[in-house]
Amino acid sequence: MFLSCFFRLRLCLVVCPFLVVGLCLTPVYGQQKPITVENIILITIDGLRWQEVFRGLDARLIADAQYNPLGEKLAQNFAADTQHSSAEKLMPFLHEVVKEQGVLLGNRDAGSCAQVTNSWYFSYPGYNEILTGVADPAIDSNASIANPNVTVLEWLQHQDEFANRVAVFGSWDVFPFILNTERSGLPVNVSPMEHPETAYEEILTNLQSDVPALWPTVRLDAFTHHYALSYLQNHKPRVLYVAYGETDDFAHDGRYDQYIMAANRTDRFIRQLWDFVQMDPTYRDKTALFITVDHGRGEEPLETWKHHASKKSLAGYMQSLAQYEEGIVGSEAVWMAAMGPGIAAQGMVSPIACAGSNQIAATLLGLLGIDYRTFNPAAGAPLEQVMQLP
């Protein structure tokens, strides 16, 4: 763009100086239309700390046999000379592809801040905030209660252009309630498919019934992921939300080794989704990817890496953590990553004001070319850092 203007400018100056503005500026501005995307892939990775995402392995935790029964093997795979190199080994897609082609937010060591704006720092309030753009203080537990609030996915599902083109795959069995499937009509898969549509989905369904479950309410992410990938390939939704969950449960179990391997696996899963997107003409160069988490975790004292809770939540849903009088400090800290058309390649960005999870819904709508105020004027404003300026 610059070069063509430069040559035209030389030509203009020779031919007629008075035409410079008309010949050079008009076409250039004409090319600078805001770019919007047609499709969105939203990913959440439950409770994966910014510390691992940007610093890689925590040396104190891998040295502790209680948290890392796997011992040396974990370090062999993911330790490195610098924290940044360790983070690159842990989440190569995020650091090699998303960081190069898009934006990252939330590396507090680099002065980049992102946080939830709800006052609880656990999952349902976090997902409600991400998906509705508003922190609702009344969402104060993880109980399976139908969400009174309308999510951006439900709103899109009721727009003609997006009707039956929105789908959700999650590992946690509370997602049908968070997305209020009874009211929204959204397809939200969190369990073995009742009606597998392909031989591949049939295998996944049989396997999910046959493989032991580690947790009563969260399935293994491999099922969530491969169902989602299959649906993406066969149904071509315009908006796909994939909610991975293992990271949080392994952390609560105190298994740092498994938490780390789950983070690495999820990075690989996201790469698979993106590789398909960029191979498929329906999606290629028309699709934005947005990745975030529902809450952070503690850092000090060491064992608080397993937990997350605000001080306020200790009196209610999180009273099992009451010994931490200030709550789990730092668990409000989150991170975000995005790339695709309409998202400038900036790498790590440091917003002047801390980015809020309540801004994600408006950002996704903004990328789709929709003014978020038509969805909900009370939602947080779009993240300007993520959007390419017109």
Q: Which residues bind Zn ion (CB under 5 A)?
A: 46-47, 123, 248, 294
Closest to Zn ion by CB, 172 vs 375, is: 172
Query: CA Rg, the chain, in Å?
Result: 22
User: Shortest gap between Cβ of 315 and Zn ion (angstroms)?
Assistant: 20
Per the CB < 8 A criterion, the answer to whether 317 and 142 are in contact is yes
**Identity of residue 41:** I
* Number of Cβ atoms within 10 Å of the Cβ of 236: 13
Q: What is 306-347 written as a DSSP string? A: G----TGGGGTTTGGGTTSTT-STTTTB--EEEESTTS---E
User: Shortest gap between Cβ of 289 and Zn ion (angstroms)?
Assistant: 21
Closest to Zn ion by CB, 70 vs 361, is: 361
Distance, in Å, from the CA atom of 248 to the CA atom of 233, rounded to the nearest integer, reads 28
DSSP letter at 213 equals: P
Closest to Zn ion by CB, 335 vs 372, is: 335
Q: For the chain, how far is it from start to end, CA to CA, in angstroms?
A: 15
Distance, in Å, from the CA atom of 288 to the CA atom of 274, rounded to the nearest integer, reads 10
User: Shortest gap between Cβ of 132 and Zn ion (angstroms)?
Assistant: 16
| Tokens (6 digits) for 115 | 């946080």
Cβ neighbours of residue 160 closer than 8 Å, sequence gap 6 or more:
none
Helix, coil or strand: residue 132: helix
Kindly list the distances between the CA atom of residue 120 and the CA atoms of 59, 137, 357, in Å, as whole numbers in the listed order: 29, 8, 13
User: Shortest gap between Cβ of 249 and Zn ion (angstroms)?
Assistant: 9
In the complex, which residue's CB is closest to Zn ion? 123
Closest to Zn ion by CB, 103 vs 243, is: 243
User: Shortest gap between Cβ of 295 and Zn ion (angstroms)?
Assistant: 5
User: Shortest gap between Cβ of 265 and Zn ion (angstroms)?
Assistant: 17
User: Shortest gap between Cβ of 122 and Zn ion (angstroms)?
Assistant: 6
**Identity of residue 135:** A
Distance, in Å, from the CA atom of 157 to the CA atom of 135, rounded to the nearest integer, reads 22
Closest to Zn ion by CB, 47 vs 351, is: 47
Cβ neighbours of residue 293 closer than 8 Å, sequence gap 6 or more:
44, 45, 46, 47, 48, 126, 334, 335
Closest to Zn ion by CB, 123 vs 189, is: 123
User: Shortest gap between Cβ of 54 and Zn ion (angstroms)?
Assistant: 19
Closest to Zn ion by CB, 238 vs 307, is: 307
Query: If residue 293 lies in a helix (H) or strand (E), which one and from where to where?
Result: none
Closest to Zn ion by CB, 123 vs 205, is: 123
Closest to Zn ion by CB, 177 vs 375, is: 177
Instruction: Please name which of 230, 311, 228, 218 lies closest in space to residue 262, comparing C-alpha atoms.
Output: 218
Per the CB < 8 A criterion, the answer to whether 364 and 156 are in contact is no
User: Shortest gap between Cβ of 335 and Zn ion (angstroms)?
Assistant: 14
